[in-house]
Amino acid sequence: MGKGFKKLRWSRYLMWKELKLRLNILKNNAINSYKVQTAYFFENVAGLGSTLFYTLTQLLFIQILYGNVDTFAGYTKTEMLILVFIAQFNFYVDWLWNTNNLNFLINAIREGDLDIILSRPIPALFFVTFKEISIVNRIKDSLPNVILISLFIDWSQIHTNGIRIVTAIILFILGQLAWHGFRFLFALPTFFIGNARQIFQVSGALGDLKDIPFEGFPDKLKTAFTTVIPSLIAARLSTSVLLGKTQPLPALLLASTVAVIFLILKQVGWIIALRKYSSASS
């Protein structure tokens, strides 16, 4: 009994140490990213300008579209704006997490910086997964856009409930996890062929599904884009559940299975890649 209790306390202590280390990695990476972001003021202003312009063209497109039709793929103008709102948020999370970190990983492999990471007693995969945390930049870029879209939404027209909202949030998170695992696999060829920048960009293009609602896709594409290429889950499937167009439970089951599979594939891919790593630096 006493021994078992001591063992439990020890394993809890180790878990706490591991958690503390990971939090420290996140903190340091966030500080580092912040310093880099604030060092290049004009670059940041330009980034904000381009995303703002993109949002305006999206809103213009919706205005023109709904000037001619009442519904598009079963979505009213308000519902479409909700989709754009969530899709835009999804885009910024993808940029914050995947684009920045996976590009960092590709460069680190190519330039040999991964050597230093691998030589330290840290969870290397966790470190590279969260190396770039440009939260300030992404908030700065996303907030004006998301606020702008929300101003166009007639919130009184939305009929949903608590369960759907919570499910949509969980779906959004699961969709991000699945999408991250998927995109990670496109960065891994760098280990084997020395460069995967273009291959990685293909994964980005596969997620660029414009503002087509979930219901707008034929069934076969729905299946493909929620399983093999999990790009519909985070924004489109979650919006569909939020708006009561898809049942929450099957969506949750599908999203959790896909997320788990892609996270396992990520882990396995990483282990295989490290075995093949030849290290670029000399």
Q: Which of residues 5-64 bind other proteins (CB under 8 A)?
A: 17, 20-21, 24-25, 28, 31-32, 35-36, 39
Find the binder of other proteins among 19, 46, 65, 116 (CB under 8 A): 116
Q: Is 281 in the site for other proteins (CB under 8 A)?
A: yes
Find the binder of other proteins among 73, 118, 158, 261 (CB under 8 A): 118
Are residues 58 and 126 in contact, defined by beta-carbon separation less than 8 angstroms?
Answer: no
Q: Is 279 in the site for other proteins (CB under 8 A)?
A: yes
Find the binder of other proteins among 76, 78, 115, 130 (CB under 8 A): 115
Are residues 104 and 131 in contact, defined by beta-carbon separation less than 8 angstroms?
Answer: yes
**From residue 123 to residue 142, what is the string marking binding to other proteins with x (rule CB under 8 A)?**
-x------------------
CA atoms within 13 A on the CB side of 236: 23
* Of residues 50 and 282, the one with the C-beta less far from other proteins: 282
Q: Is 267 in the site for other proteins (CB under 8 A)?
A: no
Q: How far is the CB of 50 from other proteins (least distance, A)?
A: 24
Cα 196 to chain centroid, rounded? 19
* Cα separation, 98 vs 104, whole angstroms: 10
* Of residues 33 and 88, the one with the C-beta less far from other proteins: 33
Find the binder of other proteins among 159, 210, 220, 275 (CB under 8 A): 275
User: Which range of residues in 90-98, 108-116, 211-219, 231-239 is near other proteins by CB under 8 A?
Assistant: 108-116
Q: Contact residues for other proteins (CB under 8 A)?
A: 17, 20-21, 24-25, 28, 31-32, 35-36, 39, 112-113, 115-116, 118-122, 124, 274-275, 277-279, 281-282
